[in-house]
Amino acid sequence: MNSGDFRESSHTYGLHLPARCISALLGERESTMFLIGTVSVRGSDNEVHLFRVPDKGEPKTECIFPHPYEIWDLAPCPTESDILITTYRDPSVKSQLTYHASLWRMTHHASSLSLLSKLDFSDCIRRVQWSPIHSQTAAVLSDDSLAIIDVEVGSLSAPKVKNVMGKGDMRKSSALCWEPWGSASSVLVNSYNSIQCWDTRSSTMAWQIEHAHSLQIRDIDCNVNVLFSFCSAGDDSSIKFWDYRKPSEPIKNILELSSHSHWVWSAKHNPSYDQLLVSASSDTVVNLWDLTDISSVAGNNVNISKKSDEDWLVKSYCDGDGDSIYSVAWACADNPFIFASLSHDKTSSAVVYRVPQEQVDQILLRSPDILV
């Protein structure tokens, strides 16, 4: 395992405002681009930053879009690169803890966000995620429920709520992930420290892992390349990997990583090479992991015996000057070995990394039929 400063083999994109969410621009297929949403307490000062990562040199600002409220989550449309859902808090309303979401069109030449519609059926929306298969369907997670909506991207009409589930069964929910396999009809969420799977066709809970973590769960992410495999991360400083391929048997925790020393806010599989996972924590550290032995490359030959966290860790990137690192994301365009993290302070900075070349070479040797 290697450790290093953020500025070693990386590039920084600076902001003049605090921020806590970053996402790849999913609908963009030619260039590597990321979005950032800011959380200034002066609501009208907030912005959505769109920046591009060139083959060489520093990230370049593509556009800055003014946004009227604090942005707590970003959900770019996976098929339309100019469509975006933001989850935000409006500090001007009477309750300081109300969260809402809106659908926007990004107009580049005018550097503006055009409001298409508001998701006004809940005042405690925490996260929105588009379906990986159905391009006009999204899941909307509130504190205590899950809603599935139909979104007509080209229309100004409000999204239609298809069904709502989870009321009475969910609490302190903030992690959300569609199952990416098959018909993508199920959604994974947390209920405080438990994990639940909801069948969106019947609006019923398919299964639950009670007390999956000892404290609040912050993130859930499915491995798109391995059926029934996902990870969870939370305030107990751990990342856990799960397999639920046999519904009649207890869901199996196949691996637990505990190298972070504080809350783990984000853990994401590489969507192209699931041997790689990146995690971000309040301990100001970003960890890059090599999960080859439980990845699609391993097949049925999963082997986790006699391995410590150090054996799985490729590199730790430490930011001694920053605050919590709330968000991390993999690029989705021409280079699958790029990822970015976002640290939170009075002002924020995104750091763009490239997976070490030695690690890339090893991965490509194990996957000779895949070219980048």
Amino acid 323: pLDDT = 75
What is 295-330 written as a DSSP string? STTTTT----TT--HHHHEEEEEE-TTS--EEEEEE
Amino acid 121: pLDDT = 83
What phi and psi, each to the nearest 5 degrees, are found at residue 114? -95, 120
Per-residue pLDDT reduced to its tens digit, 204-226: 999 999 999 999 999 999 999 99
Residue 351, classed as helix, strand or coil, is strand
Which portions of the chain are predicted below pLDDT 70?
Answer: 1-9, 43, 92-96, 155-156, 246-249, 300-301, 303, 305-306, 319-322, 346, 368-372
Q: In sequence order, what are the residues at sequence separation of 6 or more whose Cβ sits closer than 8 angstroms to the Cβ of residue 341?
A: 22, 278, 280, 286, 317, 325, 327, 328, 350, 351, 353
Q: Which residues are paired to 22 by β-bridges?
A: 36
Q: In sequence order, what are the residues at sequence separation of 6 or more whose Cβ sits closer than 8 angstroms to the Cβ of residue 123?
A: 95, 98, 99, 100
Per-residue pLDDT reduced to its tens digit, 20-35: 999 999 999 889 999 9
Q: Which CATH code is given to the segment(s) 2-366? A: 2.130.10.10
Q: In sequence order, what are the residues at sequence separation of 6 or more whose Cβ sits closer than 8 angstroms to the Cβ of residue 2?
A: 314, 315, 316, 356
Amino acid 85: pLDDT = 97
Furthest-apart CA atoms within the chain: distance in Å: 58
Q: Which two tokens stand for residue 338?
A: 């790029």
> Phi-psi bin for 57: left (phi > 0), alpha (psi -120 to 50), beta?
left
- Tell me which residue of 175, 187, 177, 178 sits closest to 143, measured CA to CA: 175
Amino acid 366: pLDDT = 78
| CA dist., res. 40 & res. 346, Å (int) | 9
Q: What is the total residue count of the chain?
A: 372
CA distances from 292 to 116, 141, 257 (A): 43, 32, 14
> Is residue 224 within 8 Å of residue 205, measured between CB atoms?
no
Amino acid 371: pLDDT = 42
